[in-house]
Amino acid sequence: MSGEYYWYQHTNMWEKERLLTFTPRGVVDSRSRHRTMVPYEEYEIGHFQSAAAAKELHDRGVTVNIGGHGQMQGLAAHWEVWMFTQGGMSNHDALRTATINSAIYIGSLEPGKLADLIVIDGNPLEDIFDTEFVEYTMINGRLYDASTMNEIGNYDRERLLFWWEREGYSEQFDWHAITGGSSHGHGH
């Protein structure tokens, strides 16, 4: 059984405020509230074994990278990192699968290049689940508040509206009213 099902089964994603800020409730609820329940031992012979195999490859010198494949937005990369630790990888090595290993795989790291990075509230070297608590995101050298995705720093710019926040979107899908969130995700 894949790790994606494990995280749907073991987390109440419909309670994650950040996720609901950036993903319509209908998308979140359709997978997270109506989840497949699987006996734990099926995960042990499924994604736990896959994660252990990734650790063994890592221990033999093979570069291992994360790979989110369209799972729940904003969580897939975290799940991948967390699963590597379930297979026995240290927090440090699991974090490398999402950072330096992946950066080297898709290009190069050189002085003068623009960096994509995140600032986390917590220490994932001590608690791997702290990766979820992203405070700031830098993309191509531009800094964003991760809770709003408004640009901050050199420029103060509010993000554009998401498709479900735009005028003309059907009110029958008013996920903001259901969650108590703002209609524009800007804290209004």
Could you report the per-residue pLDDT of 111-121, keeping only the tens digit for each? 888 778 899 99
- Asked whether the beta carbons of 97 and 66 are under 8 A apart, the reply is yes
- Asked whether the beta carbons of 58 and 66 are under 8 A apart, the reply is no
Q: Alpha-carbon distance 24 to 183, whole Å?
A: 12
Look at residue 171 in the predicted model and tell me its pLDDT. 59
- Highest mean pLDDT pick, 30-34, 71-75, 155-159: 155-159
Each residue's pLDDT tens digit, 58-103:
999 999 999 876 677 778 899 999 999 999 999 999 999 999 998 8
Q: Residue 185 — φ and ψ, nearest 5°?
A: 65, 15
- Asked whether the beta carbons of 6 and 47 are under 8 A apart, the reply is yes
Instruction: Give the residue from 76, 80, 83, 84 showing the smallest Cα distance to 56.
Output: 84
Inter-helix orientation angle 76-86/3-10, to 10°: 100
Q: Report pTM.
A: 0.81
End-to-end CA distance of the chain: 42
Q: Alpha-carbon distance 51 to 87, whole Å?
A: 4
Structure tokens at 17: 């405020």
- Asked whether the beta carbons of 100 and 78 are under 8 A apart, the reply is no
Q: Residue 69 — φ and ψ, nearest 5°?
A: -120, 45
* Burial category of 179 from C-beta neighbours within 10 Å (exposed 0-12, middle 13-18, buried 19 and up): middle
